[in-house]
Structure 1
Amino acid sequence: MFTGLIDKLKGKRTAAVKTPEIMGLRLGASFELDPLAIRLILDELTIESCSPTQIIRAAGLVELDGTWVYRFYTDDDAWLQVVAEGGQTDEHVVDVKLFHFYDTLDVAGQQAWDRLLQREIGAASYSLRERTYGRVWTSAGDYHNPVHMAEKTYDGDGEHSLTDQFTMLFERPLSDQRTESLFLSAEEKQEQAGYLSRSLVISTGITLTPSQLTIHG
């Protein structure tokens, strides 16, 4: 009785924070890539290198209608995205992609932000380093409004942050019949100092099969 009262008075946390976890992927875990999965196509990819072993430093989760998007951020300036549909167990996983951050661009001013969301991010194609990617998500018109995702991201201490993301996915073919993905995310975040930061985060990645990924819990 007294212990519980003291804990309340001190504001002591009595329950561990539950962070995103699926397929054995979680904060502090690591995974290995089949070297051939990258080596055979590395010359065609936007990235110049990829570590075969990566440690998860942060984990995020986006909840959509019947779909959960898990993101595991690594020490290789990369993030592994796992999409589950209809449930949150391993058997519900429908897609796994490994992305690397390409660039983060500050968006200054409301006009620039509106132009990005209303005319740029959802165009039919996007060019990066003289490579053209076609939009994956279809629309009845030429322009596709960005898809909103609210991500809750946890760091190694269990602290979390919230980010509003307005996203679009593109891809281009590779020589081995796979594709390189391009993920654009226009992000808004309320900073601790009280101001709203906005940026365009550009990432490129590839789809992985279960045989190309070994997870170490």
Structure 2
Amino acid sequence: MFDRLFGRGRTPAAPALPMVRNITIGRSLRVDPLAWRRFGDAARFSLDGDTLEIVAQGLIDLGADGFVHRFYTDDDVMFQVLSGDRDGAGSEDHTLFVPWSSDYPAAPGDKRRWRDRLQARTFTGEGLPDYRRFWFGDEAETQAPVSFWESVYDNRDAATTRRIYQTCMLFARELPGEGRELLLAIEQEPEGGDMTHEVMIGVPLDIAEFSA
């Protein structure tokens, strides 16, 4: 599905800051720690506290397929929401991600090796178990990652925008009790900035597991 939704040539969305389920810059998001603590040591996802202060907001336009809304803390924790419209009405697929690692591709071949990892059926890393490719399924041995522009705002009047080009793939693994843990592997390149390779670990959230 995602190869239809994301494209490097897509025109960035016009500046605007929708409030999605009462979440936007300057507001607090409260999450239920049982969403991940119930898995105990089986989960790599970890987050201290249950209140997130939102300091930045991102928006990705999927065209006819809707929008991705992202909300960030000072510690780069990311709450992500998919919705059918720009205002965030009828939001779905709510996911909380925390940073796991961030590296600069300095050595020769680093970028190629990272792209190979994004395309592989299985992703792993230091201190991590195996995660299977979630987007597109894991039947194929390799699968091209998806790419898109994200517009990120640091204030609610949307006077300035940071644009970040990302190439990524989503992986997942099953947890006890019908749980699931996600891994988002990203090649990230801000306009005018240096490329980095990011890994984020996430857990899906039900509507009842967060509020603002």
Contact 1:108 1:198 in 2 (8 A): no
Aligned partner letter, 2:187: A
Q: C-alpha separation between the residues in 2 aligned to 1:127 and 1:101?
A: 15
Deviation sequence 1:96-145 (CA, Å, 0-9, x none): 0000011111112674323422x221210111324110001126732111
* 1:170 shift after superposition: 0.4
**Which residue matches 1:176?**
177
Report the CA distance between 1:49 and its aligned residue.
3.1
After TM superposition, the structure 1 = structure 2 runs for residues 38-53 of structure 1, keeping only pairs within 5 Å, are 38-53=36-51
- For the residues of structure 2 that align with 1:155 and 1:204, how far apart are their CA atoms? 23
Aligned positions of 1:161-172 closer than 5 A: 161-172=162-173
Residue number among 111, 119, 122 corresponding to 2:119 in the alignment: 122
Q: Considering Cα pairs closer than 8 Å and 6+ residues apart, tell me whether 1 or 2 has the greater RCO.
A: 2
Q: How far did 1:214 drift?
A: 1.2
- Point out the structure with the larger strand share: 1
**Map of 1:104-115 to 2, 5 A cutoff?**
104-108=102-106, 111-115=109-113
1:209 has 2:210 as partner: no
**Alignment: residue pair count:** 193
Matches within 5 A, 1:36-185: 36-65=34-63, 66-85=65-84, 87-108=85-106, 111-117=109-115, 119-128=116-125, 129-138=127-136, 141-156=140-155, 158=158, 159-185=160-186
Judged with a 3 Å threshold, the aligned counterparts in structure 2 of structure 1 residues 20 and 174 are, in CA distance, closer, same or farther, namely same
- The Cα offsets for residues 128-184 of structure 1, whole Å up to 9 and x where unpaired, read as 324110001126732111101200001137432101000100001111211000001
Specify every segment of 5 or more residues in structure 2 that has no aligned partner in the other structure, as ranges. Answer: 1-14
- Partners of 1:207 and 1:200 lie apart in 2 by 23
Seen in structure 2, the aligned counterparts of structure 1 residues 49 and 141 have a Cα distance that, compared at 3 Å, is closer
Specify whether residues 114 and 64 from structure 1 end up closer, same or farther in structure 2 by C-alpha distance, changes over 3 A only. farther
Q: Evaluate the alpha carbon distance shift between residue 94 and residue 127 of structure 1 in structure 2; reply closer, same or farther with a 3 A threshold.
A: same
Amino acid aligned to 1:83: L
Identity of aligned residues (%): 26
Q: TM-score, normalised by structure 1?
A: 0.80
Match of 1:14 in 2: none
Q: 1:42 Cα deviation (Å)? A: 4.3
Structure 2 CA distance for aligned equivalents of residues 50 and 144 of structure 1: 35
Aligned position for 1:35: 33
- In 2: Cα distance, 1:133 partner to 1:104 partner: 18
Q: Distance in 2 between matches of 1:145 and 1:56?
A: 32
Tell me if structure 1 keeps the 8 A contact 2:18–2:86: no
Q: Distance in 1 between matches of 2:26 and 2:171?
A: 30
Looking at CA atoms only, which structure, 1 or 2, has the larger radius of gyration? Answer: 1
